[in-house]
Amino acid sequence: KPWRRSVRCGGMGKQCEHMHRRREGAGPVARTLLLATAVKLLLVPCYKSTDFEVHRNWLAITGTLPLARWYTEATSQWTLDYPPLFGWFERGLAQLAPLADPGLLTVQAGPYDSPAAVLFQRGTVMLADGVLMVGVLWQTSGVHYGGSRGGGLSLDSGRQLSGQQSMSGGGSVTPRGLALLLAVFSPGLLLVDHVHFQYNGMMLGLLLCALAAIGHGRPVTKPSNINPKV
């Protein structure tokens, strides 16, 4: 109840109210992520494309060979052809791969497959989706694209109108909650990433993080020549 929160807040007013809304908002977000993870786990044994072996071979290349050979190794037809940043991402995953199945890091011409390998690689996509969640939550966390400077896009008004009702069980959906639902249950991402096998959710999350950084005017995390007002 609003009056109860006022009593507890005492003289802290808006700050306490803001903290209360954040605590209440964490529940729906956690439930959304748990439900999305459950759906993705159901997709683990589904069809997988040749991209599954492509990324498996990249794990082996980046995990067992020196950097100088990453882009020249051609034992398998699925050579590493993504930019170096993604290569380092694969190398990071390769540090954990032997814990699931040492065979994941075997450089060979033919494909490698095992139940542990499937579960590990599917799991890496689920974990990488965390970047998408961060991007969505950051992008919808406040005023963006110059809103604080006047005339920009802002999600604050919609959240103020419906935020308290939705977070306290009023039944309405906030823009932030809707954005998170649309992202984690995107049919395209579920089919391409969690069935076909890709990391597009992570890439989209990085894009959203970059846009959020631009909107918040963070000079370290955004290109300095981009004007948020444009």
On whether the CB atoms of residues 144 and 128 are closer than 8 A, the answer is no
pLDDT tens for 149-169 read: 433 344 444 444 344 444 444
What pTM was estimated for this model as a whole? 0.74
pLDDT tens for 23-65 read: 555 677 788 888 999 999 999 999 999 999 999 999 999 999 9
**Whole-number Cα distances in Å, 186 to 19, 123, 189:** 30, 18, 5
What per-residue confidence (pLDDT) applies to 25? 56
Half-sphere exposure of 155 (CA within 13 A, CB side): 20
Spatial neighbors of 48 by CB under 8 A, at least 6 apart, are 118, 195, 196, 197
pLDDT tens for 77-135 read: 999 999 999 999 999 999 999 999 999 999 999 999 999 999 999 999 999 999 999 99
On whether the CB atoms of residues 129 and 184 are closer than 8 A, the answer is yes
On whether the CB atoms of residues 109 and 91 are closer than 8 A, the answer is no
Q: Is the pLDDT reported for residue 230 higher than 50?
A: no
Spatial neighbors of 62 by CB under 8 A, at least 6 apart, are 70, 80, 87, 88, 90, 91, 94
